[in-house]
A and B are shown apart, each in its own frame.
Chain A
Amino acid sequence: MAAAAELSLAEIRRGLSWRKQLDKIFVLLGLLVLFACLGVLAILFFDLVRDGASRFGWDFFTNFPSRKAERAGILSAWVGTSLIMLVTALVALPVGVAAAIYLEEYAPKNWFTGIIEINVTNLAGVPSIVYGLLALGLFVYKFNFGQSVLSAGLTLALLILPIVVVATRESLRAVPKAIREAAYGLGATRWEVTKDHVLPYSTGGILTGLILGLSRAIGETAPIITIGALSFIAFLPPAPIGGEFPFLNFEWLTSEFTAMPIQMFNWISRPDQAFQANAAAAGAILLGMTLLMNAIAIYIRYRFRKKINW
Chain B
Amino acid sequence: MNNSAGTLAAGFSESLRYRKIRDRLVELILLAAGLVAVFTTVAIVFILVYESSFFFEHVSIREFLTDTMWTPLFADARYGIMPLVAGTMTTTFVGLAVAIPLGTIIAIYLAEFAPHRLRETIKPMLELLGAVPTVVYGYFALVMVTPLLQKVFPELPGFNMLSAGLVIGLMIVPYVASVAEDAMRAVPRYMREGSYAMGATRLQTALRVVVPGAFSGLAAAYILGISRAVGETMVVAIAAGMQPNLTFNPTEPAATITAYIVQVSLGDLPHDSIGYQSIFAAGLVLLLITLVFNVLGFFLTRKFREAY
Q: Is the beta-carbon distance between B19 and A189 smaller than 8 angstroms? A: yes
Point out the residues of chain B lying under 8 angstroms from A76, CB to CB.
Answer: none
Binary flags per residue of A24-46, CB closer than 8 Å to B gives 1, else 0:
00110111011001101101100
Q: Is the beta-carbon distance between B36 and A161 smaller than 8 angstroms? A: yes
Q: Given the known inter-chain contacts A27-B113, A41-B128, A189-B19, please indicate yes or no for A133 contacting B279, CB distance below 8 A.
A: yes
Q: Is the beta-carbon distance between A99 and B34 smaller than 8 angstroms? A: yes
Q: Is the beta-carbon distance between A268 and B128 smaller than 8 angstroms? A: no
The reply on B90 being an interface residue by CB < 8 A is no
Q: Is the beta-carbon distance between B133 and A290 smaller than 8 angstroms? A: yes
Q: Is the beta-carbon distance between B31 and A102 smaller than 8 angstroms? A: yes
Closest chain B CB from A220 CB (angstroms): 7
Complex CA distance for A131 and B224, rounded to whole angstroms: 18
Binary flags per residue of A134-168, CB closer than 8 Å to B gives 1, else 0:
10111001000000000000000010011001000
Interface centre among A33, A127, A192, A226 (most CB of B within 10 A): A127
Point out the residues of chain B lying under 8 angstroms from A133, CB to CB.
Answer: 44, 47-48, 51, 261, 279-280, 283
The reply on A286 being an interface residue by CB < 8 A is yes
Interchain CB contact (< 8 A) of A95 among B33, B133, B232: B33
User: Quick check: which of A63-71, A117-125, A174-182, A245-253 contacts chain B, the rest being far away?
Assistant: A117-125
The reply on A291 being an interface residue by CB < 8 A is yes
- The 27 sampled A-B contact pairs (Cβ below 8 Å) are A30-B105, A33-B102, A37-B126, A38-B126, A95-B33, A96-B33, A98-B30, A99-B36, A102-B30, A102-B34, A106-B27, A116-B38, A126-B231, A129-B261, A133-B51, A134-B44, A189-B23, A215-B131, A221-B234, A227-B265, A264-B135, A264-B136, A265-B135, A268-B139, A280-B143, A283-B135, A287-B132
Beyond the given A96-B33, A219-B136, A268-B143, please list 20 additional residue pairs across the A-B interface where CB-CB is below 8 A: A19-B204, A23-B201, A26-B109, A30-B109, A30-B113, A30-B114, A48-B136, A98-B32, A119-B37, A125-B227, A130-B231, A133-B261, A158-B36, A191-B26, A222-B262, A261-B135, A264-B135, A268-B238, A283-B135, A291-B128
Q: Given the known inter-chain contacts A119-B38, A125-B224, A134-B47, please indicate yes or no for A226 contacting B262, CB distance below 8 A.
A: yes
Complex CA distance for A215 and B54, rounded to whole angstroms: 37
Q: Is the beta-carbon distance between A101 and B44 smaller than 8 angstroms? A: no
The reply on B9 being an interface residue by CB < 8 A is no
Complex CA distance for A51 and B136, rounded to whole angstroms: 13
The reply on A269 being an interface residue by CB < 8 A is yes
Q: Given the known inter-chain contacts A33-B106, A37-B126, A99-B30, please indicate yes or no for A130 contacting B50, CB distance below 8 A.
A: no
Closest chain B CB from A246 CB (angstroms): 26
Q: Given the known inter-chain contacts A106-B27, A189-B19, A226-B265, please indicate yes or no for A218 contacting B37, CB distance below 8 A.
A: no
User: Quick check: which of B55-63, B78-86, B245-253, B286-294 contacts chain A, the rest being far away?
Assistant: B286-294
The reply on B129 being an interface residue by CB < 8 A is yes
Interface centre among B47, B102, B113, B114 (most CB of A within 10 A): B47
Interchain CB contact (< 8 A) of A99 among B33, B133, B265: B33
Q: Is the beta-carbon distance between A130 and B286 smaller than 8 angstroms? A: yes
Binary flags per residue of A224-236, CB closer than 8 Å to B gives 1, else 0:
0111100000000
Q: Is the beta-carbon distance between B126 and A121 smaller than 8 angstroms? A: no
Interchain CB contact (< 8 A) of B105 among A33, A137, A264: A33
The reply on B160 being an interface residue by CB < 8 A is no
Interface residues in A, total, Cβ within 8 A: 87
Q: Is the beta-carbon distance between A137 and B204 smaller than 8 angstroms? A: no
Point out the residues of chain B lying under 8 angstroms from A254, CB to CB.
Answer: none
Q: Given the known inter-chain contacts A26-B113, A264-B136, please indicate yes or no for A107 contacting B34, CB distance below 8 A.
A: yes
Q: Is the beta-carbon distance between A286 and B258 smaller than 8 angstroms? A: no
Closest chain A CB from B304 CB (angstroms): 15
Point out the residues of chain B lying under 8 angstroms from A51, CB to CB.
Answer: 143
The reply on A22 being an interface residue by CB < 8 A is yes
Q: Is the beta-carbon distance between A34 and B106 smaller than 8 angstroms? A: yes
The reply on B307 being an interface residue by CB < 8 A is no
Complex CA distance for A165 and B33, rounded to whole angstroms: 10
Complex CA distance for A28 and B161, rounded to whole angstroms: 31
The reply on A47 being an interface residue by CB < 8 A is yes
Point out the residues of chain B lying under 8 angstroms from A264, CB to CB.
Answer: 135-136, 139
Closest chain B CB from A273 CB (angstroms): 10
| Top 3 A-B residue pairs of the complex, sorted by shortest distance between their CB atoms | A219-B133, A127-B231, A30-B109
Binary flags per residue of B262-301, CB closer than 8 Å to A gives 1, else 0:
1001101001000000011001001100110010011000
Q: Is the beta-carbon distance between A222 and B47 smaller than 8 angstroms? A: no
Closest chain B CB from A93 CB (angstroms): 11
For window 176-205 of A, CB contacts with B under 8 Å fall at 189-192
Complex CA distance for A130 and B34, rounded to whole angstroms: 21
The reply on B22 being an interface residue by CB < 8 A is yes
Complex CA distance for A226 and B267, rounded to whole angstroms: 10
Interface centre among A20, A31, A218 (most CB of B within 10 A): A31
Q: Is the beta-carbon distance between A121 and B135 smaller than 8 angstroms? A: no
